[in-house]
């Protein structure tokens, strides 16, 4: 395995030699021309959908690529489709060209060798990706990406609250429980079947588990129970004080945001530090919405795009992945009027023609300061998330 | 050639269902080589029954299914009893078609906009009447008993059963019997119950079963309105199928069979209930008691139906209002800022699913009409009614969609048809054809055969008779059938999801996907478009004969 990885790195280095890279990239661009790319991406967030629609317009104009957004209810649907196609022996001409992916889904595809590539290092814009300052760009949930996916978007957990109703939000799990007990029904989280809901549990685990170092590797039957026991003790105390007494949960982050906007809850988890700012700008949250991290820091990760091994148009999919890494796309994504996610690029290294897109970002209300946001923590191994979600299901489904 | 029409129709039609059910059953009983299953047995079922929440899910499914069917039927019958022959009845009839053309999901989304704790109704009465400055922590949708789901189903199923009753009344020549009963001093309600229901019920039995099967196995309305921990069985199955680790794929196939069995048993239980009620009511039917005028019952039934129709219309208005909203905070009764930006922004992304919806519906409807007409022509020319065999056409309405779509999907992938337009139209045809056939059969059979005979006597060939006499005479029912077919296709969620492989998205799949998200303004745009498209087609279908025959008395 190590040998294989070393070979890949060497191959990546070779591909990065400018002349070779340029000619092979030109071939990729030529092969991509006029092709369709079915981009399978979770469709539950309108701002992201609008961003993908904009991307589609741009890649059509610039590369003559017909990008279609397949709006998923769950990323697993796309993984499932690739698996079904593999089972049916369709090893080329598959129906999925590009997937927005990370965490357990990425690992599942990697374990079953369903990824095309490695391709990330072949993308011309990959050289500007910040791989040292933002390690989650190359290690996804402790799993080395190995070039099988290209980063496009950074995320870090924040808790969004309405400062008009909740002037001082809790900044630790203990404080959150105490606050929820005093204010029953004012907190919820998305169902743990949703990645953000599982993340709510994961963040609590990070703070409550006795030995954090265990989280860096897959959980074992020997260490799992002891590691999660404090989390479930905390959660069992919290759950009766959640919205709907902890029997119903919103299906997704945006559904949860609607509850905050309607005043059904006062506090919610989000994976975008700009959630409050973007939502205020789009009239999805009141102007008094704010976001905060936690005293001990919060989990951060990277969203990737990957290409299934049997994609019909891998070249066109790579061109789209490269466009998502361009200064133009990253600056728009970074703009709190659109998505507000931190960029995956190292802006200082960008050439001027790309850097110019990152102009003055207007200061808009709702952005947390660096101090409020706090430290970025690495994601635990995906196995923790998978097991936590399954445990949660057993506790809640009766 | 024409003789081949009925068997060919059945083959196109039943083959995928049988194959799909088989494709679901094999893995459920352990045979799924791709996942290493080579031994038949009940291990998969054991895993299914070990899933958390399964019992609650089954109980919820049965409770909501029976309740929704019983309430829809009771209300439809009670309204007929209360209002038959009045102006209210005629008014209600005018609302039926547009209501039936509106997709379930759009109504369910609008209904949720109305009755949610932060919904329009709560906003209208807050804070003045209710005292709520923020939404109450009460589950008015996704409630543990599934009552919101029952109400959401009733919005469509009551009008559907009412329409079936109207058709049955037309055939049963009830007016004279009822007049006789009234002359003998029977109260209006009692006369209806004793004279009409025993004669009408057998005619609407199949639609009632279809409603029961639909209520037990529906996915799109359920996704919006049932509780989530656990949801009804059909939603649970869809959830399991999309599990990334495939752990739940096999239990999902077993659950598909379980749902199929639940529907079969439920229909059996319903049939037993029919027999029991008929038995128990025998004395009452013939005891000669005249009953009162039943004024309270009458006005209750009318008020309930008016409430139901009112809710449905308000639901559509709620969709429209949200689609033009910029911001609308609780507890304001109306948006504080309006905009058309939602429409302008969504228009480009709306185009593709709207086009797909339109073309799939047009293709499926055209094929369904062609097949139905061929079958009916064959029937008339040979004089043999293939009623028994063609009754199989209703199979897709009685078999839970998810039960055979799981297996059918694997089949489509094997045939390399998945995600293709052909597969999509085919999947839609399964559900469009029964309704189109149902809508065409009566007018076609009722057409006076002497028209065709006269034309033939004048020397016209059978083809010419068909195109020059029959089609023009039957244009109106053809158009109505087309409108119904279109509406059925436009509303299909699961078949589009499965056969479309995500490559084809319709307004319905988009609206249901968005319903789990957060932005009501965008959801309003999609759901309103979803509701509007079949309504526009329906209006056009009615306008065409009226326009073509504007100078032909009695044909428009």
Q: What is the pLDDT of residues B266-287, one digit of tens each?
A: 999 999 999 999 999 888 888 8
pLDDT at A9: 43
CA distance A81 to chain B (A): 8
- Residue A20 confidence (pLDDT) above 60: no
More confident residue, B457 or A2: B457
Look up the domain containing B153 and give its range. Answer: 58-339
User: What DSSP string describes A180-248?
Assistant: HHHSTTSB----TTSHHHHHHHHHHHHHH-S-GGGGGS---HHHHHHHHHHHHHHHHHHGGGSGGGGS-
Are residues B144 and B191 located together in one domain of the fold? yes
B274 within some domain = yes
Span B170-195, pLDDT tens digits: 777 788 888 888 888 888 888 888 88
Mean of pLDDT values over A359-385: 86
The values of phi and psi at residue B325, to 5°, are -95, 140
In this complex, the residue of A79, A88, A397 whose CB is nearest that of residue B413 is: A88
Within a domain: B40: no
For residue B41, is it within any domain?
A: no
Nearest Cα of chain B lies from the Cα of A134 at a distance, in angstroms, of 27
Task: Output the pLDDT for position A362.
Answer: 66
Q: Residue B386 has what pLDDT?
A: 64
| A84/B410 touch (CB, cutoff 8 Å), yes or no | yes
Within a domain: B49: no
Shortest Cα distance, chain B CAs vs residue A316, angstroms: 17
Chain A residues closer than 8 Å to B139 by CB: 244, 247-248
Domain boundary (B314, B339, B364) is at B339
Distances (CA, A) of A298 to A161, A202, A247: 16, 10, 26
Fold match flag (A2-153+301-366 vs A158-300+372-396): yes
Q: Which has the closest alpha carbon to B60: B71, B51, B50, B68?
A: B68
Q: Given A83, A193, A264, which is nearest B118 (Cβ)?
A: A264
Whether residue A19 is predicted with pLDDT greater than 80 in this model: the reply is: no
Q: Do residues B182 and B223 both lie within one domain?
A: yes
Same domain, B314 and B398: no
Return the pLDDT at B384.
74
Q: Is domain A2-153+301-366 in CATH 3.30.2130.10, yes or no?
A: no
Distance from CA of B330 to the nearest CA of A (A): 5
**Which of these ranges, A85-89, A131-135, A302-306, has the smallest mean pLDDT?**
A85-89
Q: Identify from A46, A101, A164 which residue to disrupt to test chain B contact, counting B C-beta atoms within 10 A and taking the largest count.
A: A46
Least confident of A11-25, A223-237, B130-144, B232-246: A11-25
Q: Are residues B214 and B328 in the same domain?
A: yes
The vertex-B389 CA angle with B386 and B394, nearest 5°, equals 115
Is the four-CA dihedral B126, B132, B133, B135 of positive or negative sign?
negative
Domain count, chain B: 2
Asked if the bond preceding B234 is cis, omega within 30° of 0, the reply is no
Residues B149 and B273 in one domain: yes
Residue A14 has pLDDT above 60, yes or no: no
The dotted CATH code for A158-300+372-396 is 3.40.190.10
How confident is the model at residue B34, as a pLDDT?
A: 67
Which residue of chain A has the CA closest to B230? A397
Q: Would residue B52 count as lying in a domain?
A: no
Least confident of A138-142, A302-306, B151-155, B241-245: B241-245
Size of the A and B interface in Cβ pairs below 8 Å: 152
Question: Which of chain A's residues have a Cβ under 8 Å away from the Cβ of B414?
Answer: 88
Residue at a domain's end among B277, B305, B339: B339
B264 and B372 inside one domain? no
Tell me if B554 is assigned to some domain.
Answer: yes
Q: Does B377 fall in a domain? A: yes
A19 CA: distance to closest CA in chain B (Å): 37
* CB within 8 Å of chain B, chain A residues 283-342: 283-284, 286
% of chain A exceeding 90 in pLDDT: 71
Q: Give pLDDT, residue B389.
A: 66
Nearest to A301 by CA among A151, A85, A77: A151
Token couple for B428: 């839609």
Check whether residue B380 and residue B487 sit in a common domain: yes
- H or E segment to which residue B327 belongs: strand B325-327
Min distance B312 CA to chain A CA atoms (Å): 23
Q: What is the CATH number of the domain that holds B500?
A: 1.10.3720.10
For the cut 50, the answer to whether the pLDDT of residue A167 exceeds it is: yes
Enumerate the domain spans of chain A. 2-153+301-366, 158-300+372-396
Query: Using a CB-CB distance cutoff of 8 angstroms, which residues of chain B are in contact with residue A85?
Result: 413
Mark whether B130 and B254 lie in a shared domain. Answer: yes
Helix (H) or strand (E) holding B380: helix B341-382
Band (A361; pLDDT cuts 50, 70, 90): low
In this structure, are B544 and B403 located in the same domain? Answer: yes
> Is B187 found in the same domain as B199?
yes
**CB within 8 Å of chain B, chain A residues 25-84:** 38, 40, 43-46, 49-50, 53, 68-81, 83-84
So what's the pLDDT on residue B387? 66
Residue ranges in chain B modelled with pLDDT below 50: none
* Residue A250, helix vs strand vs coil: coil
User: Nearest Cβ partner of A252 from B53, B326, B517?
Assistant: B517
Other beta carbons within 10 Å of A66: 15
A248/B229 CB distance under 8 A: yes
Mean pLDDT of A226-237: 97
Last residue in a domain, options B319, B339, B359: B339
Identify whether residues B495 and B553 lie together within a single domain: yes
Q: What is the mean pLDDT of the segment spanning A227-233?
A: 97
Mean pLDDT of A132-141: 90
Decide which of A14 and B188 is more confident. Answer: B188
d(CA B16, CA B391): 17
Residue B292: inside a domain: yes
Clarify whether residues B262 and B408 are in a common domain: no
Q: Are A248 and B519 within 8 A, CB to CB?
A: no
């Amino acid at each position: 395995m190590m040998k294989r990885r070393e070979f890949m790195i060497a191959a990546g280095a070779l591909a990065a030699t400018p002349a070779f890279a340029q000619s092979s990239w030109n071939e990729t661009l030529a092969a991509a021309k006029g092709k369709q790319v079915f981009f399978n991406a979770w469709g539950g967030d309108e701002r992201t959908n609008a961003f993908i629609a904009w991307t589609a317009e741009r890649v059509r104009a610039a590369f003559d690529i017909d990008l279609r957004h397949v709006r998923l209810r769950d990323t697993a649907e796309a993984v499932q489709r690739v698996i079904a196609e593999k089972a049916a022996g369709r090893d080329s001409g598959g129906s999925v060209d590009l997937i927005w992916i990370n965490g357990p889904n990425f690992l599942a595809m990697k374990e079953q060798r369903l990824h095309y590539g490695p391709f990330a290092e072949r993308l011309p814009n990959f050289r500007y990706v910040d791989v040292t300052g933002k390690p989650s760009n190359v290690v996804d949930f402790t799993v080395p990406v190995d070039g099988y996916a290209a980063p496009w978007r950074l995320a870090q957990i924040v808790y969004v609250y309405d400062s008009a109703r909740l002037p001082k939000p809790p900044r630790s799990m203990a404080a959150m429980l105490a606050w929820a007990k005093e204010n029953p029904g004012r907190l919820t989280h998305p169902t743990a079947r949703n990645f953000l809901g599982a993340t709510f549990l994961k963040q609590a685990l990070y703070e409550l588990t006795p030995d954090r170092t265990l989280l860096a590797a897959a959980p074992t039957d020997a260490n799992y129970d002891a590691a999660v026991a404090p989390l479930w003790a905390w959660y069992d105390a919290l759950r009766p004080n959640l919205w709907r007494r902890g029997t119903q949960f919103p299906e997704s982050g945006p559904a949860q945001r609607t509850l905050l906007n309607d005043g059904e809850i006062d506090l919610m988890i989000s994976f975008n530090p700009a959630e409050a700012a973007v939502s205020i700008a789009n009239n999805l949250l009141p102007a008094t919405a704010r976001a905060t991290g936690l005293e001990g820091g919060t989990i951060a990760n990277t969203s990737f795009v990957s290409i299934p091994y049997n994609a019909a148009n891998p070249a066109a999919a790579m061109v789209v992945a490269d466009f998502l890494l361009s200064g133009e796309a990253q600056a728009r994504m970074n703009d709190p009027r659109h998505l507000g996610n931190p960029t995956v690029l190292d802006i200082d290294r960008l050439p001027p023609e790309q850097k110019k897109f990152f102009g003055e970002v207007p200061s808009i209300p709702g952005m947390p300061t660096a101090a409020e946001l706090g430290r970025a923590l690495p994601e635990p191994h995906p196995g923790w998330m998978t097991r936590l979600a399954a445990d949660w299901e057993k506790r809640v489904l009766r | 050639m024409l003789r081949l029409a009925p068997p060919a129709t059945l083959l196109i039609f039943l083959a995928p269902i049988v194959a799909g059910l088989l494709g679901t059953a094999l893995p459920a009983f352990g045979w799924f080589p791709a996942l290493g299953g080579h031994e038949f047995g009940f291990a998969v079922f054991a895993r299914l029954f070990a899933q958390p929440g399964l019992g609650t899910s089954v109980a919820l499914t049965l409770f909501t299914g029976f309740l929704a069917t019983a309430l829809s039927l009771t209300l439809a019958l009670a309204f007929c009893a209360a209002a038959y022959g009045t102006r209210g009845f005629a008014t209600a009839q005018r609302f039926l078609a547009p209501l039936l053309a509106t997709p379930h999901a759009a109504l369910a989304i609008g209904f949720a906009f109305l009755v949610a704790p932060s919904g329009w109704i709560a906003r209208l009465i807050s804070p003045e009447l209710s005292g709520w400055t923020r939404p109450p922590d009460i589950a008015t949708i996704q409630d543990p008993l599934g009552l919101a789901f029952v109400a959401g189903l009733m919005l469509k199923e009551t009008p559907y059963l009412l329409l079936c009753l109207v058709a049955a009344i037309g055939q049963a020549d009830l007016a004279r019997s009822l007049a006789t009963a009234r002359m003998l001093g029977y109260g209006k309600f009692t006369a209806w119950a004793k004279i009409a229901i025993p004669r009408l019920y057998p005619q609407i039995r199949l639609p009632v079963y279809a409603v029961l099967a639909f209520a037990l196995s529906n996915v799109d309305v359920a996704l919006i309105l049932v509780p989530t921990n656990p949801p009804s069985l059909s939603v649970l199955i869809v959830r399991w199928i999309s599990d990334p680790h495939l752990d739940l794929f096999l239990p999902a196939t077993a659950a598909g069979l379980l749902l199929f069995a639940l529907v079969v048993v439920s229909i059996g239980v319903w049939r037993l209930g029919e027999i029991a009620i008929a038995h128990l009511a025998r004395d009452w039917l013939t005891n000669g008691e005249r009953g009162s005028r039943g004024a309270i019952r009458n006005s209750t039934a009318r008020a309930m139906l008016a409430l139901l129709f009112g809710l449905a219309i308000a639901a559509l208005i709620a969709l429209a209002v949200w689609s033009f909203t910029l911001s609308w905070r609780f507890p304001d009764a109306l948006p504080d800022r309006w905009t058309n930006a939602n429409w302008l922004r969504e228009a480009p992304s709306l185009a593709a699913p709207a086009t797909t919806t339109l073309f799939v519906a047009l293709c499926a409807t055209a094929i369904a009409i062609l097949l139905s007409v061929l079958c009916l022509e064959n029937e008339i020319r040979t004089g043999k009614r293939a009623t028994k065999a063609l009754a199989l056409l209703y199979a897709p309405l009685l078999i839970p969609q998810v039960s055979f779509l799981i297996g059918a999907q694997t089949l489509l992938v094997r045939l390399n048809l998945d995600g293709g337009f052909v597969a999509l139209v085919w999947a839609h045809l399964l559900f469009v054809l029964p309704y189109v056939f149902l809508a065409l059969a009566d007018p076609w059979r009722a057409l006076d055969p002497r028209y065709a005979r006269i034309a033939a006597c004048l020397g016209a060939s059978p083809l010419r008779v068909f195109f020059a006499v029959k089609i023009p005479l039957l244009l109106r029912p053809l158009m109505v059938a087309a409108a119904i077919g279109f509406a059925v296709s436009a509303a299909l969620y699961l078949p589009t999801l499965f056969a479309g492989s995500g490559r084809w998205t319709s307004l319905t799949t988009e609206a249901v996907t968005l319903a789990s998200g957060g932005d009501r303004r965008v959801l309003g745009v999609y759901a309103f478009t979803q509701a509007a498209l079949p309504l526009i087609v329906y209006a056009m279908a009615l306008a065409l004969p009226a326009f073509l025959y504007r100078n032909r008395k009695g044909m428009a």
